[in-house]
């Protein structure tokens, strides 16, 4: 018996997460200069980080010998969201928080329900906790809440203890109207936790956003997660958070590593929260870029899934082949065969010139 064989079967069954290809890696592979490469593969903010966050990071470097203090960021988030401090749980990215939720509510003999084509971290977190994945079929590439409700196992094993929902969803970009999500919450048994992953919330038109955090008063089994990785432009610093009922937040904080978010990330997130100008610019750039890319895809005769995030998924004849041709031209997008969509590619909305280079390269690749 090898040492690897000693790991539980549910750990050995996990397929590793495949991240977007780093710019430096493609540069090495293709012998291309880094400056010639356009990466539109990981839903990062093309404007970089908030200038206010940059100043805060530089300032926080003095003090790096100290362990981090989460108080100020927690307090700012609690105030912004109208909840108690004890309802905020910080994560080393929101992925960290998703993992904490799985550790709190899942175990062997239990299951989690999520949709076909949902975010790849849901099966990872579920399986790491030894629980089983129940995948509900998608409808028009998006979450079918009726199918998800029907998939919940109540009186048998593996008893469902958790439901994962991304809204908007990644990689498909689908958006569930808030009324449907609220109706779903009413139908889910109160002893099943529901994660509402709102990583792309800030890309919704302000008039369409509803305060899902306010639902916590009625649904103590709800956990809302958000991140500083997308519109706030801090993906590399790793900071996100959950908002939950006090009792759930308390459990999450028990399994959380005490210093899971570093000093620089805390300082940057605190400053970025108030950088309204940067957020408005990022939102507007995304809105225009989405129009540009969608118009370009239409011109090329390619179907796309209407998206509510900072990315769009489109159909091609052969996802693998088109991706290779794009890479040869220095364009990195995201193949999503691992999400059950082998003939779709996901592109992140970039700067106007990056979007144009992508469309031009795509024209030569299809
Ligand atoms: C990007 C993304 C996240 C955020 O991940 P971080 O760990 O915060 O960087 C969470 N959920 C979904 C669906 C995402 O696409």
Give residue limits of the domains in the chain.
Answer: 4-48+276-365, 52-272
What's the pLDDT score for residue 18?
84
CA of 299 to the centre of ligand 1 (A): 31
Beta bridge partner(s), residue 90: 241
**For the chain, the helix, strand and coil percentages under 3-state DSSP, each to the nearest 5:** 45, 15, 40
Q: How confident is the model at residue 13 (pLDDT cuts 50, 70, 90)?
A: very high
Percent of the chain with pLDDT over 70: 100
Distance of CA 171 to the CA centre of its chain: 9
Q: What ligand 1 atom has the least distance to the C-alpha of 235?
A: 9
Between the CA of 311 and the centroid of ligand 1 the distance, in Å, is: 13
**Which pLDDT does position 308 carry in this prediction?**
98
| Contacting residues for 135 by C-beta, under 8 A, at least 6 apart | 113, 114, 115, 116, 151
- Measured in Å, residue 131 CA sits from the centre of ligand 1 at 21
Centre of ligand 1 from the C-alpha of residue 263, in Å: 20
> In ligand 1, which atom is closest to the CA atom of 240?
8
The rounded distance, in Å, linking the Cα atoms of 272 and 238 is 13
Per-residue DSSP letter, 39: E
How many Å is the maximal CA-CA distance in the chain? Answer: 59
18 C-alpha to center of ligand 1: Å? Answer: 14
- 240 contacts: CB under 8 Å, gap ≥ 6: 90, 91, 92, 93, 94, 95, 96, 97, 199, 225, 226, 227, 228, 229
Q: Ligand 1 mean position to 183 CA, how many Å?
A: 25
Whose Cα sits closest to atom 3 in ligand 1? 199
One DSSP character per residue, 222-264 reads EEEEEESSSTT--TTT--EEEEE-HHHHHHHHHHS-TT-S-HH
Angle among Cα 356, 27, 31 to the nearest 5 degrees reads 110
Per-residue pLDDT tens digits for 287-320: 999 999 999 999 999 999 999 999 999 999 999 9
Q: Going by DSSP bridges, is the β-strand pair 222-227/240-244 parallel, antiparallel, or unpaired?
A: antiparallel
Q: What is the pLDDT of residue 270?
A: 98
Q: Tell me which H or E stretch contains 110.
A: strand 110-115
- How confident is the model at residue 245, as a pLDDT? 98
Say if residue 87's pLDDT is above 90.
yes
Measuring CA to CA, how many Å separate 47 from each of 44, 230, 281, 351? Answer: 9, 11, 9, 8
| Coil vs helix vs strand at 296 | helix
Q: What is the CA radius of gyration of the chain?
A: 21
pLDDT at res. 207: 87
**What does the alpha-carbon distance between residue 51 and residue 58 come to, in Å, rounded to a whole number?**
11
CB 106, CB 297: distance < 8 Å: no
Which residue's alpha carbon is at the smallest distance from atom 2 of ligand 1?
A: 199
Tell me the whole-structure pTM to 2 decimals: 0.96
Residue 1 predicted with pLDDT over 80:
no
**Four-residue CA torsion sign, 143, 147, 148, 149:** positive
The per-residue pLDDT for range 210-226, each reduced to its tens digit, is 999 999 999 999 999 99
Strand-pair category, 334-336 with 341-348: antiparallel
Q: Which CATH class is domain 4-48+276-365?
A: alpha beta
pLDDT in tens, 93-135: 999 999 999 999 999 999 999 999 999 999 999 999 999 999 9
| Phi, psi dihedral angles at 148 (to 5 degrees) | -70, -40
Closest ligand 1 atom, CA of 119?
13
- Give per-residue pLDDT as tens, 45-86: 999 999 999 999 999 999 999 999 999 999 999 999 999 999
Q: Which atom of ligand 1 is nearest to the CA of 229?
A: 9
Whether 37 contacts 23, CB under 8 Å:
yes
Atom from ligand 1 closest to the CA of residue 171? 15
CA–centroid distance, 95 to ligand 1, in Å, is: 6
Average pLDDT, the chain: 97
CB of 43 sitting under 6 A from ligand 1: yes
Kindly give the distance from the C-alpha atom of residue 5 to the centroid of ligand 1, in angstroms, as a whole number: 31
What CATH class is the domain 52-272? alpha beta
Q: What is the DSSP secondary structure assignment for residue 16, as one 8-state letter?
A: P
Phi, psi of 278 (to 5 degrees): -60, -40
Nearest Cα residue to atom 11 of ligand 1: 199
**What pLDDT does residue 19 have?**
86
At residue 16 the predicted structure's pLDDT band, cuts being 50, 70 and 90, is confident
352-363 vs 319-328: helix axis angle to the nearest 10? 120
Nearest CA to 57 out of 279, 275, 256, 258 is that of 275
CA 308–ligand 1 middle distance (angstroms): 15
Domains 4-48+276-365 and 52-272 share a fold: no
DSSP code string of 113-173: EEETT--THHHHHHHHTTPEEEEEPPBTTB--HHHHHHH---SSSSEEEEEEEESS-TTT-
Nearest atom, ligand 1, residue 42 CA? 1
227 within ligand 1 shell (Cβ under 6 A): yes
Q: With a 6 A CB cut-off, is 166 part of the ligand 1 pocket? A: yes
**pLDDT of 208:** 87
- Give the ligand 1 atom nearest the CA of 228: 8
Structure tokens at 314: 């489109």
Residue pair 208/168 in contact (Cβ under 8 Å)? The answer is no
Tell me the per-residue pLDDT of 344-359, one tens digit each, with 9 for 90 and over.
999 999 999 999 999 9
């Amino acid at each position: 018996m090898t040492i690897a064989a000693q790991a539980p079967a549910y750990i050995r069954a996990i397929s590793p997460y495949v991240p977007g290809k780093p710019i430096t890696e493609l540069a090495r592979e293709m012998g291309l200069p880094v400056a010639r490469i356009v990466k539109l593969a990981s839903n990062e903010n093309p404007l970089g980080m908030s200038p206010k966050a940059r100043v805060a990071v530089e300032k926080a470097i003095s003090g790096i010998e100290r362990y981090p203090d989460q108080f100020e960021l927690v307090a700012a988030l609690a105030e912004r969201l109208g909840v108690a401090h004890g309802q905020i749980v910080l994560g080393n990215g929101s992925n960290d928080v998703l993992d904490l939720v799985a550790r709190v509510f899942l175990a062997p003999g239990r299951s989690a329900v999520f949709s076909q084509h949902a975010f790849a971290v849901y099966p990872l977190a579920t399986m790491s906790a030894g629980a089983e994945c129940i995948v509900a079929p998608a409808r028009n590439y998006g979450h079918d809440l009726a199918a998800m409700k029907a998939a919940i196992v109540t009186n048998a094993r593996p008893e469902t203890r958790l439901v994962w929902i991304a809204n908007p969803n990644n990689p498909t970009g689908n958006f569930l109207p808030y009324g449907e999500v609220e109706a779903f919450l009413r139908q889910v048994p109160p002893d099943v936790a529901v994660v509402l992953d709102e990583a792309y919330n800030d890309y919704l038109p302000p008039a369409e956003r509803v305060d899902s955090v306010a639902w916590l008063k009625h649904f103590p089994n709800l956990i809302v997660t958000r991140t500083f990785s997308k519109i706030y432009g801090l993906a590399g610093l790793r900071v996100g958070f959950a908002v939950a009922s006090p009792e759930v937040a308390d459990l999450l904080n028990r399994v959380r590593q005490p210093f899971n978010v570093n000093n620089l990330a805390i300082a940057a997130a605190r400053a970025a929260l108030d950088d309204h100008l940067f957020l408005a610019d990022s939102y507007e750039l995304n809105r225009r870029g989405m129009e540009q890319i969608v118009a370009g895809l239409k011109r090329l005769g390619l179907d796309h899934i209407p998206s509510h995030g900072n990315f769009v998924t489109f159909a091609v004849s052969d996802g693998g082949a088109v991706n290779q041709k794009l890479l040869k031209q220095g364009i990195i997008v995201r193949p999503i065969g691992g999400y059950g969509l082998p003939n779709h590619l996901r592109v992140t909305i970039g700067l106007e010139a990056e979007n144009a280079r992508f469309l031009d390269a795509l024209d030569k690749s299809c």
